[in-house]
Chain A
């Protein structure tokens, strides 16, 4: 029962802040709403027994990535008055209609398909006895060691790419 109440609280919070994010005119307000949305999603992760991911969500997403966004927004003076004029006519209406069509498609698929899969070994009790963070670490360094190393190369490439792109002269 408590789980349901918390789910609906965080879920409504996430949806409302996400709607606030796409409707604000000023990009800084959008960024602040998005931070709220990420925090609500982090709360949902805790409900789903993914405490490590909840912490990473708050630190990396709501912390690092959004600070980067706010820095760039403040560097660029991005709240342009041109937002009101439409180059493509009826763009807003078409965007709204197409996303509603997509919502109905997803809803239809979820109604039509019965989701079944063989349950794996990590039950809630087993995760609790080992510890969520410890289990993630174990899997990262055993079963997922190769993707883990590839991700480190990806991050290196991203650092170099960002530095090169943001240089004064390309």
Chain B
């Protein structure tokens, strides 16, 4: 069980780096990449639990999380492109109006 907690700590650290990226950066694309990093950290925790509890459910869940992440990236990047077309910027501090 010792190895499991090292994997969980690694996953927590990766998740926290993602949170730090979201809170400190202003470029919408880098914020988006940090969200991907957080999803990856959670996936790592799922796979670690699946391995050490002798279960396959965690791996199947990771498969679904990856699909949802792919869908999220496609829609999110389309939103960023359409915002850029209107405002000529991807700085989230300047994108502060829902309607203009």
Residues of A within 8 A of B (CB): 3-4, 7, 11, 14-15, 18-19, 21-22, 27, 30-31, 34, 37-38, 41, 44-45, 48-50, 52-53, 56-57, 60-61, 64-65, 68-69, 72-73, 75-76, 78-80, 82-83, 87-88, 91-92, 94-96, 98-100, 102-103, 106-107, 110, 115, 117, 119-124, 127, 132, 135-136, 139-140, 144, 147, 151, 154-155, 157-159, 161-163, 165-166, 168, 170
Contacts and interface: CB of A to CB of B under 8 A. Distances in A.
Contacts of B16: 99-100, 102-103, 106
B51 A30 contact: no
Given A65-B69, A82-B91, A95 B20 contact: yes
Contacts of B3: 3-4, 7
A70 to B, nearest CB: 10
6 contacts: A22-B25, A30-B29, A41-B43, A68-B74, A69-B73, A99-B20
Contact of B80 (A19, A22, A72, A102): A72
Given A80-B89, A161-B78, A45 B4 contact: no
B26 to A, nearest CB: 6
A71 to B, nearest CB: 8
The majority secondary structure among interface residues of chain B is: helix
Nearest to A150: B64
Interface string B1-40: 1011111111011111111110111111110111011001
Interface residues of B, number: 72
B36 A135 contact: no
Contacts of B34: 21-22
Contacts, number: 223
B27 A27 contact: yes
Given A22-B24, A69-B73, A87-B93, A37 B37 contact: yes
A28 B59 CA distance: 31
Interface string B59-98: 1101110111111111101111110110001110110000
A48 B8 CA distance: 13
B64 to A, nearest CB: 6
A21 B13 CA distance: 14
A69 B59 contact: no
Contact of B29 (A69, A158, A163, A165): A69
A170 B36 CA distance: 27
B39 to A, nearest CB: 9
